[in-house]
């Protein structure tokens, strides 16, 4: 159940009231209070594209041998081996560790994109439970693909998207991995499923040039045009990356009411280029693509790269993510405006002290309110060792 809470006043004299999970114009009578005389109240950050399944990577993932050269080899030798090695226990530990650290960094909503080809039935319930237990708001999907098992694999992936139960904290999306790993039939089915479920598509678009070349070889101008031609870009759809879209294509995505999500640390790490065309849309949020969900760190990298590439349009992406979340959960406002989600962070000298999501305190005095970070990390370390052993024999 959504909570009611009155937060503040903070050091600037600001008080924020939450009534039944929404920011309200005035405090609810009888609502509990959260004092923060030394703190500063702000809306929680949103990570608009990530992969909880990579949550164990910081625990000593062995480097690929031989070292990958280029984006497709990084996928094949690192992430597509990791996702094949995932089972329920490893995924649960990865998700809990990722979500816990995201909360402690002041991130109050995650937009996840999941793949585990040897475990297609069931991962959505595990991710939802990890978020619910710790109090995180999230949009979840299975990224359907044909790259291991053809059309049957894709149908199973789409069916898993249909099993995500909506709660005050969770909504489902329909996921496709990327245009270059699915057929026209799967793209059409994904669009139809999103409309049927009343949700939107979440897909990687033009992350590397190879995605563009693949769509061209199939007779389309690019992956965006392919998704549009096959009627899959439901308004509100979430397109991760867009590194190799032109300014006109980015404008076309905005005209179709789609969100683009920039992932600067990932793009730099994978050497796919800088997404300079994204400045042509106002609907651009910030994601981490599996890197930790410390959005202030991600934004610092964004600004560093934007300056280097002469991109003057890279501001406002964190606030855009809040609008994306409000849209998907049916809130009438974002940020700290009345009607926005009751997702609030209190910092002291820049450090996260209190985190409130849906009107409930989930981080209190800098510590998880519902669990123990030490226990979560210990479980992650143990599962990581098992996972690297499984990856080694794949």
Burial 58-86 (b: 16+ CB within 10 A, else e): ebeeeeeeeebeebeebbebbbbebbbbb
97 or 112, CB closer to Zn ion? Answer: 112
Closest CA to 114 of 183, 50, 199: 50
288 or 334, CB closer to Zn ion? Answer: 288
160 or 289, CB closer to Zn ion? Answer: 289
Measured at the CA of 187, the angle between CA 181 and CA 189, to 5 degrees, comes to 130
41 or 74, CB closer to Zn ion? Answer: 74
Task: State in angstroms the smallest separation of the CB of 290 from Zn ion.
Answer: 6
Task: State in angstroms the smallest separation of the CB of 208 from Zn ion.
Answer: 12
**CA–CA separation, 151 vs 10, rounded Å?**
55
210 or 337, CB closer to Zn ion? Answer: 210
Q: Which stretch binds Zn ion (CB under 5 A): 154-162, 229-237, 285-293, 308-316?
A: 285-293
Contact between 272 and 246 (Cβ < 8 Å)? no
Task: State in angstroms the smallest separation of the CB of 181 from Zn ion.
Answer: 13
Q: Which stretch binds Zn ion (CB under 5 A): 60-68, 85-93, 129-137, 286-294?
A: 286-294
Task: State in angstroms the smallest separation of the CB of 121 from Zn ion.
Answer: 22
Helices 123-134 and 88-104 pack at an angle, to 10 degrees, of 30
Radius of gyration of the chain (CA): 20
- Residues in 289-318 at the binding interface with Zn ion, rule: CB under 5 A: 289
112 binds Zn ion (CB under 5 A): no
Residue 204 corresponds to which tokens in the numbers above? 């990687």
Determine the size of the site formed for Zn ion (CB under 5 A): 1
Contact between 179 and 188 (Cβ < 8 Å)? no
- Residues in 51-110 at the binding interface with Zn ion, rule: CB under 5 A: none
**CA–CA separation, 153 vs 267, rounded Å?**
28
9 or 269, CB closer to Zn ion? Answer: 269
Q: Which stretch binds Zn ion (CB under 5 A): 16-24, 96-104, 284-292, 375-383?
A: 284-292
Task: State in angstroms the smallest separation of the CB of 240 from Zn ion.
Answer: 5
Residue 1: CB atoms within 10 A of its CB come to: 9
Task: State in angstroms the smallest separation of the CB of 194 from Zn ion.
Answer: 18
Contact between 338 and 331 (Cβ < 8 Å)? no
**CA–CA separation, 190 vs 176, rounded Å?**
7
Q: Which stretch binds Zn ion (CB under 5 A): 171-179, 209-217, 288-296, 336-344?
A: 288-296
Task: State in angstroms the smallest separation of the CB of 318 from Zn ion.
Answer: 18
Residue 346: CB atoms within 10 A of its CB come to: 25
Residue 30: CB atoms within 10 A of its CB come to: 6
210 or 382, CB closer to Zn ion? Answer: 210
Closest residue to Zn ion, Cβ-based?
289
Q: Which residues bind Zn ion (CB under 5 A)?
A: 289
């Amino acid at each position: 159940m959504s909570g009611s809470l009155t937060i503040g006043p903070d050091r600037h004299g600001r008080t924020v009231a939450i009534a039944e999970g929404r920011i309200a114009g005035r405090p609810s009578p009888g609502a509990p209070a959260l004092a923060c005389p030394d703190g500063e109240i702000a809306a929680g950050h949103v990570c608009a594209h990530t992969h909880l399944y990579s949550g164990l990577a910081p625990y000593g993932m062995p480097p690929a041998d031989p070292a990958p050269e280029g984006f497709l080899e990084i996928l094949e030798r690192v992430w597509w081996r990791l996702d094949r090695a995932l089972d329920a226990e490893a995924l649960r530990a990865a998700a809990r560790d990722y979500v816990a650290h995201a909360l402690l960094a002041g991130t109050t909503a995650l937009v996840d994109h999941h793949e585990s080809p040897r475990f297609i039935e069931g991962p959505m319930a595990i991710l939802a439970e990890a978020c619910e237990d710790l109090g995180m708001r999230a949009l979840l999907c299975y990224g359907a693909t044909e790259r291991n098992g053809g059309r049957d694999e894709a149908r199973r992936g789409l069916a898993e998207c249909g099993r995500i139960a909506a709660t005050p904290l969770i909504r489902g999306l329909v996921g496709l991995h990327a245009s270059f790993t699915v057929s026209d039939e799967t793209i059409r089915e994904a669009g139809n499923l999103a409309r049927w479920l009343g949700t939107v598509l979440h897909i990687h678009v033009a992350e590397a040039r190879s995605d563009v070349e693949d769509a061209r070889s199939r007779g389309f101008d690019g992956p965006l045009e392919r998704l549009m031609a096959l009627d899959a870009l439901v308004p509100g759809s979430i397109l991760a990356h867009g590194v190799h879209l032109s300014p006109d294509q980015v404008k076309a995505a905005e005209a179709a009411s789609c969100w683009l999500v920039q992932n600067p640390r990932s793009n730099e790490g994978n050497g796919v280029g800088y997404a300079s065309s994204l400045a042509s849309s106002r609907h651009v949020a910030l994601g981490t693509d599996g890197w930790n969900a410390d959005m202030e760190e991600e934004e610092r990298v964004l600004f560093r790269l934007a300056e280097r590439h002469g991109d003057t349009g890279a501001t406002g992406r964190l606030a855009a993510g809040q609008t994306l979340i409000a849209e998907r959960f049916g809130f009438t406002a974002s940020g700290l405006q009345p009607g926005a989600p009751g997702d609030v962070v209190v910092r002291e000298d820049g450090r996260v002290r209190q985190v409130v999501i849906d009107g409930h305190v989930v981080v209190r005095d800098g510590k998880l309110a519902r669990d123990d970070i030490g226990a979560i990390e210990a479980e992650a370390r143990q599962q990581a060792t098992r996972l690297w052993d499984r990856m080694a024999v794949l």
